[in-house]
Amino acid sequence: MHSGKCMHAFILEGEAGYDRELERTVRVNHRRSARTLIALPPPAALVMLMLGAAAQAQERPGTLSLGIQGQYGVIFGPSDMASNYDRGGGFALRIRYAIGGPQAFGVSFESQTFGGDSGAEPVDPAPDRLKLSNATVEYLRYFNRGEGRSQYVVAGGGLFHPSEKRTDGTVAVRSDGLILVFGGGVEIFVRRTTALDLSLRANALLGGDAVSATLEAAIGPHFYLIK
């Protein structure tokens, strides 16, 4: 009985010691952070405080963010679409919802146009423009939150809708298909709630006569809707 009481007292003392050590560590880290901020010039200290607050808000579950990107892409593969068209510009709308920790779910809407390939076999009327309208659901995993630059990887899938215009003005609408998205990017914060989002995405287009692929580089602002 006596040994049991001694063991219980030993455990309580150990837990109390751990709590005291944890509290001491937190105080030391706070003091170090404060000394670092004091040593910095006022503008740099303000930036550090803003980035720290932004990092906490970005990872808070329920944080919503919205981005717009301009992009440029190429299309390739054995399909008719890839054989007749080559490259062009577009734009994208990105909506993201933080789910806790450095993770988020997102929805992207893209409109990407590819011009006719001058090296393709001549036909009349010739291919003039291919437009892809994409809607995808995505998962994002972030790295290095709160350091001014935050990298991420993204994967997802959805649907794409192709339409083709010929040089005589006729428009042909192709069948919708499945699109798979893989890529990554970096957010460079210029303000507490505003980042410059640079990304590179590879898309697999499953549908039609054969598989096609696109590679897109994009850049644009991303805004965090933080209260």
Candidate from 63-67, 80-84, 110-114, 211-215 with smallest mean pLDDT: 80-84
Cα distance between residue 223 and residue 151, in whole Å: 16
pLDDT digits (tens, 9 = 90+) for 80-98: 788 888 899 999 999 999 9
The SS3 assignment for 214 reads strand
* CB-CB contact of 198 with 44 (8 Å): no
Return phi, psi of residue 5, to 5°: -65, -40
- Place 211 in a pLDDT band, splitting at 50, 70 and 90: confident
Could you tell me if residue 194 is left (phi over 0), alpha (psi between -120 and 50 degrees) or otherwise beta?
beta
- Per residue in 154-171, is it b (16+ CB within 10 Å) or e — as a string? bebebebbbebbbeeeee
Rg for the chain, CA atoms, rounded? 26
pLDDT digits (tens, 9 = 90+) for 5-64: 444 444 444 444 434 543 453 344 444 444 544 555 555 444 444 444 444 455 678 889
Q: Which of the pair, 21 or 224, is modelled with greater confidence? A: 224
Looking at residue 39, its pLDDT comes to 56
Angle, helices 2-39 vs 42-59, to 10°: value is 130
